[in-house]
Amino acid sequence: MERGIKPEYECFEMGHLDTILTMARKGQVPGAPMQFNFVLGVPGCTPATVDNLCWLVKNIPAGSTWTATGIGRYAFQLAAPAIVMGGNVRVGFEDNLYLERGVLAKSNGELVDKVVRMAKLLGREVANSDEAREILGLKKR
């Protein structure tokens, strides 16, 4: 953190959370407050369900922040509960190419715009870059 860099711990499996928390308790990785990214819906990994997202969120250290990433068709299905639960959302071509079934997005910006519209419809404000840095506990530029 002395250089303003904070790790994000990606969890593709529920067991990844236990591994990260064990490493933090042993001082092997920076501990709380932590930033997690729950990547759900990868074939062979944790399914993208609200129950699984809730379990993960309930088991992170107090004061930590988190992001939900739904893979493929789960991108927006997971974004909505993440927004309502007070989390953050990651979208982009790395995880999903479609705005909706059969409609390819033209850019990452289109995917982001859809999540911004969802957040506004669900009553959540979207952070600007300075606000995001504050939420994540990062130094201002």
Q: Residue 71: which pLDDT band, with cuts at 50, 70 and 90? A: very high
Domains of the chain: 8-136 (3.20.20.70)
Q: Residue 6: which pLDDT band, with cuts at 50, 70 and 90? A: confident
Reported as a single tens digit per residue, the pLDDT across 75-130 is 999 999 999 999 999 999 999 999 999 999 999 999 999 999 999 999 999 999 89
Provide the token pair at 92.
Answer: 């982009």
pTM attached to this predicted model = 0.92
Q: Residue 34: which pLDDT band, with cuts at 50, 70 and 90? A: very high
